[in-house]
Amino acid sequence: MKLGDLSVSYMHTVIKAMHELGYNIDDILSNFLLSKASLSSPDARISIPKFMRLGHACINKASSPWFGLVMGTVTSPTHLGFAGLLANSSENIAQACHQLATYEVLSKYNVRGQSQFNSSLVANGKQKIHKNQQRGILQFYSIAPYNEYNYFVVDSIISGWYHIIMDLCGRNDAIEKVCFEFPAPSYEDKYREHFNCEVLFNQANNYLIVKGEALDWCCTNACRSTFTLLQRYADAELAKFELGQNFREKVCRALGPLLNGSTPTLEQVSEQLNMASWTVRRKLIEEGSSYQQTLNETRKDLALSYVCDTALTLGEIAYLLGFGSPTAFQRAFKRWAGVAPGQFRQANKARH
């Protein structure tokens, strides 16, 4: 099981951001074997570990750890595939945010989760008795533990959403606040420059809050006929994506975000799939598998990817896969691969 991949359309934000900072990155693209032909292909993808290493190379070249924030400023709807195009032609901001989350998987898949949009009624905390106030929450999933290779990813997503929403409504006051789950980094002052709203760190998740009144603001490029046409094609692509997976693969997808720090139960996975647990068990048996077997194989595949493709410590990987301790993870890994994870990582580096 791969950690995930994304459309090369995201690379165009990387290139534009580096140009914004005054740098050409032909050398970096060449080092990562990205040609003009591949960057022009609608079907070309780049693995998430490769994207993170490439982003890190750009950060080093430009000496700009806030590179992800710059990426957000140059992100346009076209860089986000169907999700961005649907958002661009939406009637209002609420509909646009819904498109950004719903169709994200067509251009970006991560085993760690998928973005979500919720329009919720929340009580006004300033007064004991007050009518409820609606707000929209556009949330990016957690990619903790954070390190020098992945801060820029969260920065670019949140900053990109922020600037797209501003462009869609033609105003800079639609967002109430932006929130990051990691502690304030050394470049904290850059967030104040990029966002015209409250910025909070050490939050439960990565998300931005759209003001209640802004949810109904019209999008400047709204076009119902274009939106309907795009949605027809996007739904067809989404259906192909779902049909291309057997039921076991769907269970694996549900397992990924639940593994952090604990072992997911069948009931938890069933809830994610909106099915009864006995139905999930029966469908897996029909495919010659079981829940425990699927859980073990998912952990094994992710373990091999994490050890090979990331710089995460063994303790961090153990947590991400729901093991109680690094020792328990190392025993399981040696059973799967025949060698200890440290040896496996060194051997893989030598081959590359």
Cβ neighbour number for residue 219 with a 10 Å cutoff: 21
SS3 273: helix
Q: Please list the alpha-helical segments (H only) found in the chain.
A: 9-20, 26-31, 36-40, 48-62, 67-73, 81-88, 93-102, 151-169, 188-194, 224-243, 247-258, 266-273, 277-286, 291-309, 314-320, 326-337, 341-351
Residues 247-351: name the CATH superfamily.
Answer: Homeodomain-like (1.10.10.60)
Q: Which range has the top average pLDDT, 82-91, 286-295, 304-313?
A: 82-91
Burial class (CB in 10 A: 0-12, 13-18, 19+), 30: exposed
pLDDT confidence of residue 107: 94
Averaged pLDDT, 143-151:
89
Identify the residue with better confidence: 113 or 350.
Answer: 113
Please tell me the pTM assigned to this model. 0.87
Contacts 24+ apart (CB under 8 A), 318-326: 319/145, 319/260, 319/261, 320/145, 320/259, 320/260, 321/259, 322/259, 322/260, 322/261, 322/262, 322/263, 322/264
Please tell me the predicted confidence (pLDDT) of residue 250.
87
Domain ranges of the chain: 65-236, 247-351
| Residues belonging to the chain | 352
CA 172 to chain centre: 24
Which pLDDT score, from 0 to 100, does residue 246 have?
Answer: 86
Query: Which has the minimum average pLDDT: 30-34, 131-135, 151-155, 162-166?
Result: 131-135
Q: What's the pLDDT at 352?
A: 52
> By percentage, how much of the chain surpasses pLDDT 90?
71
Confidence at 46, pLDDT banded by 50, 70, 90: very high
> pLDDT averaged over the chain?
90
Whether 162 and 85 have beta carbons less than 8 Å apart is answered as: no
* Residues 195-247 pLDDT 10s: 999 999 999 999 999 999 999 999 999 999 999 999 999 999 999 887 777 88
Q: Tokens at residue 166, please?
A: 């501003």
DSSP collapsed to 3 states, 209-271: EECHHHHHCECCCCCHHHHHHHHHHHHHHHHHHHHCCCHHHHHHHHHHHHCCCCCCCHHHHHH
pLDDT at 128: 35
